[in-house]
């Protein structure tokens, strides 16, 4: 039911490196998006809405047989790890337009979730998705080009440091600059 150690290490590295990739690759202003607006990462966490416009990104990579996309945004890069949202998508095929949920390796031991959510609030508290929500945590990529990625997401996150914390609805949409 839980990740095997090598899978856990892969996902942990991606999670830890996502904010660093963001800090090193984002500019202060996004390019014009559809209708003349800037890039954005909009999220609703437990009924509270947030919009990150100047610091949003998408990065793509692969590790072994897993293809990954990291999509996210910061409210203010100068604050560090506060007001940060990220989505990680994993697949056995290159990431493309479509819907992602469930498991990367269905039916085998050591399954890895296809979608992982993370949010660090204004106080620096980390919230993340859990393995048991893999069937309902969903990312839909509606547009994908060499310059940008657009889509929606929905699922549940939990306080990462509090065992038995209640589920919090985590939904939103993004139109972000593709870094690579």
Per residue, what are the HEC states of 72-137? EEECCHHHCCCCEEEEEEEECCCCCCEEECCECCCCCCCCCECEEEEEECCCCCEEECCHHHCCCC
Gap between the Cα atoms of 150 and 97, Å rounded: 9
Check: pTM over 0.75? Answer yes or no: yes
Per-domain boundaries in the chain: 5-177
Tens digits of pLDDT across the chain (180 residues): 334 434 433 444 344 444 444 444 444 444 444 444 589 999 999 999 999 987 899 999 998 888 999 999 988 766 668 899 999 999 999 999 999 998 886 655 556 789 999 999 999 999 999 888 888 999 999 999 999 999 999 999 999 999 899 999 999 999 999 999
HSE value, Cβ hemisphere, 13 Å, CA-based, for 80: 3
């Amino acid at each position: 039911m839980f990740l095997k150690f090598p899978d856990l290490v892969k996902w942990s590295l991606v999670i830890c490196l996502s904010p660093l990739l963001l800090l090193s690759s984002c500019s202060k202003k996004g390019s014009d998006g559809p209708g003349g607006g800037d890039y954005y990462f909009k999220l609703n966490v437990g009924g509270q809405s947030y919009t990150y416009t100047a610091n949003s990104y998408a990065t793509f990579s692969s590790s072994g047989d897993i293809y990954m996309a990291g999509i996210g945004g910061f409210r203010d890069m100068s604050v560090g790890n506060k007001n940060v949202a990220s989505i990680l998508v994993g697949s056995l095929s290159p990431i493309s337009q479509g819907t992602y949920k469930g498991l990367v390796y269905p039916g085998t031991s050591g399954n890895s979730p296809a979608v992982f959510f993370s949010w660090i609030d204004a106080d620096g508290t980390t919230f993340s998705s859990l393995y048991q929500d893999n069937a309902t945590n969903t990312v839909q990529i509606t547009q994908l080009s060499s310059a940008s990625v657009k889509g929606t997401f929905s699922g549940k996150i939990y306080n990462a440091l509090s065992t038995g914390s209640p589920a919090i609805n985590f939904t939103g949409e993004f139109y972000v600059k593709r870094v690579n």
